[in-house]
């Protein structure tokens, strides 16, 4: 009897603890998620950190563990501030570079759109690298800290090669590809750039550099030749940056309020972390006809979407197919914008998604919108859309296929380990992780790679209304900037998500000036979803960036080995995973 009462007490205690915890978390969520009070004469202080993702994939988890700013949140804050009569101005604070340039252009365009309100926006740089300054230059004025240099030095990119390390440990990369410019395998097979690789890298870097020069030239009202001359003189001491006309003042953050035009009124600071709590709907935005925005972010793989060990997003074909079907079957959704930020991945999973985009297009307009990346498999899933919109600096194209494996017999031999296979079937050991491909296996693998490449070409030709040979001339794995891709017919228009939405409105018969409600897919998980799914310490640490840089660097080489089976054909862009 006493034992029975003890068991009941323990069970009751545990149930009460669980219920109390749930109620406590729900109460915290309710309090923190309430809209903040915004007083008149407020100035929005908008910090733009580096390495932002497209959107918060788990807002509640971010709320409880410390979520960060996203591209979506920055753009939304500027949209709200543009029409919010309580906001008198914005202080833009870029505090780190984005990994690539498409997101920087997305935010820069939002700054220029905000300026159409006539309300002031100034940029404050604690440190100004090339990309931070490129973003800041879109503001009315640029202020730099008196003790901080302006590192406006141009654009540089780096490629990593691990062949030497593989040789040292006895591992043998055995790779096949379709296309001379399909350089994804070069990470493992080469010690330096091939001629085709260097040609492509130099072309991309030069075009990105020219876009930076042109953007600064327009915003600062300087001749392009003068901007080039100034870049070649960088980095600048603060006083030299001021004398050259690149910045408008040397001040500390607390001194901004004494600079024109903010010295004309007594203003109140509202940090963006608070202003994000103001809903778009409360300001008359995000209302009207509904357009689905489906986020296709991360390395493409079969199965469900998720987050890998170091916090990188994985784009699961099952998750995206479900989102496309939900938007397609929802009669209230007038059009679909497929928001892509992906270097590609599994060729099979890409083809699964492509098919679903094609089916959705039969029901309603589908517009592809590219962020930093819409390359290889990322381009594959876009080419079935009615129109493709990309930023000038988006990296896209990379129409090609790569496959292979890393044979590890030499590694085992170095440590005294022997691996003995037992197999039946002529090609049973084709995916063996121990030995390289035999001649017959290599022929068989190359047939598969070539067949997938031809399928890629054929579908791209149909989607772009080009001939197969015309696409092949632009393909072979070559990566293009969005601006280069548009000039070659691989992209329809240049611009960001707002431009893609405008195209979707036009193709679905919605007035150009009509406000629309953007419905995000995959849908954000609810409070109950999070509790039921849970999360591990590893996932939390990955999302918060608690892993040291060496692990993140090693992760570059490990991604294809971790996500895909040995020998799986990949539509994956090269170099995109290098930090």
Three-state DSSP class for residue 302: coil
For residue 158, give every residue at least 6 positions away whose Cβ sits within 8 Å of its Cβ, in sequence order, or none: 578
pLDDT band at 535 (very low <50, low <70, confident <90, very high): very low
| Cis amide prior to 261 (ω within 30 degrees) | yes
pLDDT digits (tens, 9 = 90+) for 150-171: 999 999 999 999 999 999 999 9
Q: How far apart are CA 393 and CA 373, in angstroms?
A: 9
Q: CB-based burial of residue 578 (10 Å sphere; 0-12 exposed, 13-18 middle, 19+ buried)?
A: middle
* 42-153+234-281 and 287-572 in the same fold: yes
pLDDT at site 129: 95
* Whether 384 contacts 362, CB under 8 Å: no
120-136: b or e for each residue (b if 16 or more CB lie within 10 Å)?
Answer: bbbbbbeebbbbbbbbb
Mean pLDDT throughout 133-147?
Answer: 97
Beta strands 344-346; 172-178: pairing state: unpaired
**Cis geometry, peptide bond prior to residue 235 (ω within 30 degrees of 0):** yes
Residue 133 corresponds to which tokens in the numbers above?
């300054």
Class of domain 42-153+234-281: alpha beta
Overall average pLDDT of the 383-409 stretch: 96
pLDDT tens for each residue of 237-289: 999 999 999 999 999 999 998 998 888 878 899 999 999 999 999 999 999 99
Which tokens sit at 377?
A: 């498999």
Structure tokens at 544: 């918060």
Six token digits for residue 491: 């992209």
List the alpha helices (DSSP H) in 84-162. 102-115, 130-136
CA distance 246 to 142: 8
Per-residue pLDDT tens digits for 454-510? 999 999 999 999 999 999 999 999 999 999 999 999 999 999 999 999 999 999 999
Cis preceding-peptide flag for 522 (omega within 30 of 0): yes
Distance CA 426, CA 437 (A): 12
Model pLDDT for residues 41-84, shown as the tens digit of each residue: 999 999 999 999 998 765 455 555 445 799 999 999 999 999 99
Cα 317 to Cα 301: distance, rounded to the nearest angstrom: 6
User: What are the extents of the domains in the chain?
Assistant: 42-153+234-281, 287-572
Annotated catalytic sites, by residue? 376
pTM: 0.87
| CATH number at 287-572 | 3.90.226.10
Q: Residue 413, preceding bond cis, omega within 30 degrees?
A: no
């Amino acid at each position: 009897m006493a034992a029975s009462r003890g068991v009941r007490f323990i069970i009751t205690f545990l149930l009460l603890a669980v219920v109390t915890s749930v109620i406590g978390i729900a109460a915290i969520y309710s309090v923190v998620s309430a809209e903040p009070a915004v007083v008149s004469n407020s100035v929005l202080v908008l910090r733009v950190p580096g390495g932002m993702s497209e959107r918060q994939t788990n807002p509640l988890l971010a709320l409880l563990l410390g979520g960060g700013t996203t591209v979506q949140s920055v753009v939304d804050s500027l949209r709200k501030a543009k029409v919010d009569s309580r906001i008198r101005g914005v202080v833009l604070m870029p505090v780190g570079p984005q990994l690539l340039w498409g997101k920087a252009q997305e935010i820069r365009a939002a700054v220029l759109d905000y300026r159409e309100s006539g309300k002031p926006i100034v940029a404050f740089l604690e440190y100004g690298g090339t990309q931070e300054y490129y973003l800041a230059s879109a503001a009315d004025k640029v202020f730099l800290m008196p003790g901080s240099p302006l590192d406006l030095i141009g654009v540089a990119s780096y490629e990593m090669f691990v062949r030497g390390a593989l040789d040292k440990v006895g591992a043998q990369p055995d790779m096949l590809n379709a296309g001379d410019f399909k350089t994804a395998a070069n990470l493992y097979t080469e010690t330096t750039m091939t001629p085709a690789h260097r040609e492509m890298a130099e072309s991309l870097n030069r075009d990105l550099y020219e876009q930076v020069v042109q953007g600064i030239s327009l915003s600062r009202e300087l001749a392009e030749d003068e901007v080039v001359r100034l870049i070649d003189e960088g980095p600048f001491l603060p006083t030299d940056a001021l004398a050259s006309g690149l910045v408008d003042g040397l001040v500390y953050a607390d001194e901004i309020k004494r600079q024109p035009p903010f010295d004309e009124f007594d203003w109140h600071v509202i940090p963006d972390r608070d202003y994000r709590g103001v809903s778009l709907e409360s300001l008359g935005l995000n209302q009207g006809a509904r357009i689905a925005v489906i986020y296709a972010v991360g390395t493409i793989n079969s199965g469900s979407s998720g987050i890998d060990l170091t916090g990188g997003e994985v784009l699961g074909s099952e998750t995206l197919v479900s989102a496309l079907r939900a938007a397609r079957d929802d009669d209230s959704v007038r059009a679909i914008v497929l928001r892509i930020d992906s270097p590609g991945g599994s060729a099979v999973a890409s083809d699964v998604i492509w098919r679903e985009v094609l089916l959705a297009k039969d029901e309603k307009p589908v517009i592809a919108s590219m962020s930093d990346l819409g390359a290889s498999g990322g381009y594959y899933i876009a080419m079935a859309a009615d129109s493709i919109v990309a930023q000038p600096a988006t990296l896209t194209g990379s129409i090609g296929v790569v496959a292979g494996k890393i044979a590890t017999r030499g590694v085992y031999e170095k440590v005294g380990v022997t691996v003995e296979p037992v197999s039946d079937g002529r090609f049973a050991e084709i995916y063996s992780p121990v030995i390289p491909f035999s001649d017959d296996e290599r022929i068989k693998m190359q047939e598969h790679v070539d067949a997938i490449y031809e399928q890629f070409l054929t579908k791209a030709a149909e989607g772009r209304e080009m001939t197969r040979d015309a696409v092949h001339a632009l393909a072979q794995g070559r990566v293009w900037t969005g601006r280069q891709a548009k000039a070659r017919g691989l992209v329809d228009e240049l611009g960001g998500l707002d431009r893609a939405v405008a195209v979707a409105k036009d193709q679905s018969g919605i007035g150009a000036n009509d406000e629309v409600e953007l419905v995000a897919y995959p849908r954000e998980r609810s409070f109950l979803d999070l509790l039921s799914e849970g999360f591990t310490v590893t996932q939390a640490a990955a999302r918060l960036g608690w892993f040291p840089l060496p692990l993140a660097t090693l992760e570059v080489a490990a991604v294809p080995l971790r996500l895909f089976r040995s020998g799986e054909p990949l539509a994956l862009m090269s170099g995109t995973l290098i930090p």
